[in-house]
Amino acid sequence: MSRNTKIKELSHTRLANQYGGWIYCESCGENIGYLCYTTYDNFIFNYQCQCESCGYIHIAFGDVSSEKISNDKLIKIKNRLCCIHDQSPLLTILKEKLISYQYEIDCLKCQRKYKGEK
């Protein structure tokens, strides 16, 4: 089933697919992560790449104001950051390729918002 985006903003960033897959810094072409495109409703990602370029992603499919904000951290399963409540794979961040980052991601299944940063 195809999903339609409500918001799609990319700055200095390229995605392998329409709204997910591998994430690339447009300035240096490096792969900086992976977004699991079937398991989230809203994704905001700000980063500074090792090449010193700053990038931004905001993709949302529905209501972007999730009422359930989780104080829990995502768990790591096989290199993917996953929902602590239902183990849905959400995101992989290649930390060694980034100077800093911040993200917010809403899990489609449990409807909770997770936040993280480096």
Count of structural domains, the chain: 1
Is residue 77 assigned to a domain? yes
pLDDT bracket for residue 18 (50, 70, 90): confident
Domain span at residue 35 reads: 7-112
Is residue 2 assigned to a domain? no
pLDDT single digits (tens) 45-98: 999 999 999 999 999 986 555 567 888 899 999 999 999 999 999 999 999 999
* pLDDT computed for residue 66 by the predictor: 59
* pLDDT computed for residue 28 by the predictor: 97
Q: Give the Cβ contact number of residue 2 at 10 Å.
A: 4
Is residue 118 assigned to a domain? no
Residue holding tokens 């359930």?
68
Mean pLDDT, residues 28-32:
97
Is residue 117 assigned to a domain? no
Phi, psi of 96 (to 5 degrees): -65, -15
